[in-house]
Structure 1
Amino acid sequence: MVRLVVLSLLLALAGCAPSPLRQLEEPAGADDLPDWQAGTLTALDEGQHHPAVASLLRQAEQARQQRRWDRVHTYLDQARQIQPRNPAIFYRQAWVRLQQNEPQQAEHLLRRALVFAGEDAALKRRLYALLAEALDAQGRPAEADAARQQSY
């Protein structure tokens, strides 16, 4: 009986959801990535995202402005739990790792983002441009040049 009541409540709540669940996994595009200005990202919270992800990105941006990198990581990890295949979130995480002088972690995150980028050429160009920076930071100029070529 308890299971039936719980199931009924869950179904009722699902019917009240403001947007279909498929919106959780809408593919990200290049417009969902933050813009570059003078070699840095303008803000972590740019782009159109699911409301829960957008809220976490705003919190990550506030933490970034305060240079509270542990909080930035927490918010971005939570956003990635909501949208585990969103390359725009991986991109932000990689950028943060580069700011913390962790280029190997940035490279790993960017390679994962490329897997989820699909056929979006503009998105892939932005990912490869940041990947080139991560590879340069690791002292791998030949690989960085190859990534840079992919970004054009």
Structure 2
Amino acid sequence: MVRLVVLRAVPLPLLFLLLLLGGLSGCTPLPPKPEQQQATADDLPQWQDGMLASLSQGEHHPAVASLFAKAEQARQQQLWRKAMTYLDQARQIQPRNPAVFYRQAWVSLQMGDAVRAEQLLQRALVFAGGDMELTRRLRLLMAEALDAQGRGEEARRLRQQAAWDV
């Protein structure tokens, strides 16, 4: 049962303040939206001698982490289109997450589409912000994409630039 209390003796500004404080007392800050969560270099899979250790590494939004795990299973079976489908879904959830673009670029390289890999990595660099380690790792993968396109000199310069970022 709800009771209505009339506060006649309380001045209007004080009443307003009491209502405001009472209404805000249970408020907590909202968690960041999935598309606002910032990726770091730790969220990228480890790159070792032309191979990616796992597509499911890093700390991510639960839905994205699940899609990365599915993409990893597809990677292990070399089902590249299926892996890309899962990564496309992850990008719909977090369209500004450079870790998603990184994984898509790697899968694109496995599919023989180095041009698309380069484009995805360029987008990832836009969203990498000031994280130098993240930028360095993106550049190293981009050098692989450039090599696959026969652009060895550009790849060499990019690797050199990535070495300076350390």
**Cα distance, 1:36 vs. partner?**
2.0
- Residue 128 (structure 1) aligns with: 139
Whether contact under 8 Å (2:35, 2:95) holds in the other structure is: no
**TM-score normalised to structure 2 length:** 0.77
**Cα distance, 1:91 vs. partner?**
0.3
**TM-score normalised to structure 1 length:** 0.84
- Residue 162 (structure 2) aligns with: 151
CA RMSD of aligned residues (A): 1.3
Runs of 4+ in 1 over 6 A off after TM superposition: none
Give, in whole Å, the separation in 2 of the partners of 1:22 and 1:73.
23
- Residue 127 (structure 2) aligns with: 116
Q: Once structures 1 and 2 are overlaid, which stretch shifts more, 59-68 or 81-90? A: 59-68
Between Structure 1 and Structure 2, whose CA radius of gyration is higher? 2
Q: Which has the higher helix share?
A: 1
- Given candidates 3, 25, 30, the residue that maps to 2:36 is 25
- Given candidates 150, 154, 159, the residue that maps to 1:139 is 150
- Given candidates 29, 34, 50, the residue that maps to 1:39 is 50
Q: What SS does the corresponding residue of 1:148 show, helix, strand or coil?
A: helix
**Cα distance, 1:23 vs. partner?**
4.6
* Equivalence map 1:2-151=2 (5 Å): 20-151=31-162
Deviations 1:6-30 (A, max 9, x none): xxxxxxxxxxxxx724354211000
Of all paired residues, the percent bearing the same amino acid is 63
Distance 1:23 1:82, change over 3 A: closer
Give, in whole Å, the separation in 2 of the partners of 1:58 and 1:74.
13
Distance 1:151 1:139, change over 3 A: same
